[in-house]
Structure 1
Amino acid sequence: MSPSPSPFHLVPGAPGSPVLLHVPHSSRAVPEQVRGGILLGDEALEAELDHITDSHTADLAARASEACAVAPWRFVNGLSRLVVDPERFPDDREEMLAVGMGAVYTRTTHRKPLRPADADPEPLLDRYFHPYARAMTAAVDERLAATGRAVVIDVHSYPATALPYELHGTGPRPPVCLGTDGFHTPPGLLALAEAAFSGFGGTGLNSPFPGTYVPLKHYGKDRRVGALMIEIRRDLYMTEPGGPAGPGLDALATALGGLVDALMDT
């Protein structure tokens, strides 16, 4: 049996950087013990991973970090979101439960069964979701202790054409969607992101995906934690679905690096 991939890892940046690039959906790795609880055959699973994975976003964050004058920190999920989705609420507050995509998915992007309807999510939550949440919380706490603030930049991508699972798939699909939170996304942070990504044909707000990730310890409580989600439409930088990256990846990495550098001056 091959060794299990690391569930997540924190890549250190400069001690004085408050910025934490969060990359939760870039991996295709599904441990063998988790694979046994999934109803899809090998070919169907690979096709689902093509659709659901934010391909190349870990590479995008790494390239952006290398281009920065002051390197940000990076928190990268080493497992597919088909194992658990660390950005979902682990309870009935999660609106994506309506399409079987809470913290533990029971449906695919095309609303087909992914796990048995009576599958118990608790073992996966205990083994993967809660440790991830604790580690991400600790990473934010470390930036607060070191710099007095933390800025979580959530790095995602989304398909050019809406998939059946999307709750807001009929709305605009701009080249770069910026997901915001009324408490944690100050106007200055949003303005810097709009300027950084202005060269890609336009940015939009909270469509097709709204909001951004903040650990529950800080969510709605600590204004020292800023947050913004960056959703890049995949046709800007890769062949869909699940194909190789193209030259657009470098330009996007430069833009993301520019945003990080700008945040050091605020």
Structure 2
Amino acid sequence: MPSRTIPPAAIAVNRPAASGPVVVSVPHAGRIYPPEILAAARVNRQNLERLEDSWCDLIAAGAADAGATVVHALWARAVADLNRGEGQMAPGEVAMPLRAQFSAPGRKERAGLGVVPTRLADCGPLWKRPIDREGLEWRLESFHRPYHAALANALTAVRHRFGHAILIDLHSMPSIPPGQPGYGARIIVGDRFGETAGDWLVDRAMASSVRLGEVVTRNQPYAGGHIIRTHGRPGEGIHAVQIEIDRSLYLTPDRSPDSARVAWLARWFSELVSDLGQMRPEAEIFPQAAE
């Protein structure tokens, strides 16, 4: 990485005084590109912006007023992908001394979509040089680890106060092409096939989404990534779902926000947050709440 500057804050946490048990995570809508990142890139900023969940933070704009603690990434996904684990990289995408620690890449990592995004279709490599140890540690220490620490702290705080916590990890997605699993779905609720949340939460989230009049699926084709896998622990009273929203529902063809459609989805999301915040699951689901 080039010489360091003092960059702006990487994340923001909005914890209203009257917060409830819901924590909202918005990890991929950041639009700040630290100077180090732009200097290291071999592509222009417009190509890096293709990694973003463009403007989906606007959908969560009213979540704090609805009682949620909101943890929002301000730095762009190009710095580090907060929905990947620290070990998720392909060996060929990093400098030689790092390759041994990334020995079992999955499909996304092999495609260049690891904890540091390194390639995009029709774009090629994103960086002038492979990711070295210094560059990787800077990204993790400055952005990835603080984000997950903020989520963990927020979830611990609300669980301590209410006896349970609900995490909604909010994302947007491109339209699913014909022939692909989940084709036609405009909203996807993921719980890693029952691993990260109780059915009571998933059923309520899906019912709310269906009321938008759009096709909603569960876990197809996105079952949820590193964030809900890491923080969702139903046995400890922390339930987590990932919600994906088709960008065509709220963006114009040039990827700018359609104000009316954004407002429509923001109202829906605020109502969902408020609804979930008022739920009081049975004591046997959260035995800690009865102690």
Same fold flag (TM > 0.5): yes
Counterpart-to-counterpart distance in 1, 2:270 and 2:41 = 38
SS in structure 1 at match of 2:274: helix
Structure 1 moving runs of 4+ over 4 Å: 218-222
Q: Which residue of 1 aligns with 2:72?
A: 76
How much has 1:58 moved relative to structure 2? 1.4
- Mind listing any 5+ residue stretches in structure 1 that lack a counterpart? 163-168
Counterpart-to-counterpart distance in 1, 2:21 and 2:10 = 23
How much has 1:257 moved relative to structure 2? 1.8
1:85 aligns with 2:81: yes
1:265 aligns with 2:279: yes
Structure 2 counterpart of 1:115, from 127, 132, 139? 127
SS in structure 2 at match of 1:201: coil
Residue range with higher mean Cα deviation, 29-38 or 254-263: 254-263
Counterpart-to-counterpart distance in 2, 1:160 and 1:137 = 31
What root-mean-square deviation, in Å, do the aligned CA atoms of Structure 1 and Structure 2 show?
A: 2.6
AA aligned opposite 2:46: E
TM-score, with length taken from structure 1: 0.85
Counterpart-to-counterpart distance in 1, 2:121 and 2:80 = 15
How much has 1:208 moved relative to structure 2? 3.1
**Can you list the C-alpha shifts for 1:14-65, whole angstroms capped at 9, x where unaligned?**
4450100111111221100122111113xxx21441x321122212111344
Q: Which residue of 2 aligns with 1:209?
A: 222
Residue range with higher mean Cα deviation, 202-211 or 78-87: 202-211
Counterpart-to-counterpart distance in 1, 2:160 and 2:223 = 29
- Mind listing any 5+ residue stretches in structure 2 that lack a counterpart? 89-103, 281-291
In structure 2, relative to structure 1, the CA distance for the partners of 1:256 and 1:141 (3 Å cut) is: same
TM-score, with length taken from structure 2: 0.78
Residue range with higher mean Cα deviation, 149-158 or 175-184: 175-184
Q: Which residue of 2 aligns with 1:166?
A: none
Higher relative contact order (CA 8 A, sep 6+): 1
1:191 aligns with 2:203: yes
Q: Which residue of 2 aligns with 1:10?
A: 13
How much has 1:238 moved relative to structure 2? 1.2
SS in structure 1 at match of 2:13: strand
In structure 2, relative to structure 1, the CA distance for the partners of 1:145 and 1:64 (3 Å cut) is: closer
AA aligned opposite 1:192: R
In structure 2, relative to structure 1, the CA distance for the partners of 1:246 and 1:105 (3 Å cut) is: same
**Can you list the C-alpha shifts for 1:102-140, whole angstroms capped at 9, x where unaligned?**
111111254610124632123322222122222221121
How many aligned residue pairs are there? Answer: 253
Counterpart-to-counterpart distance in 1, 2:233 and 2:105 = 16
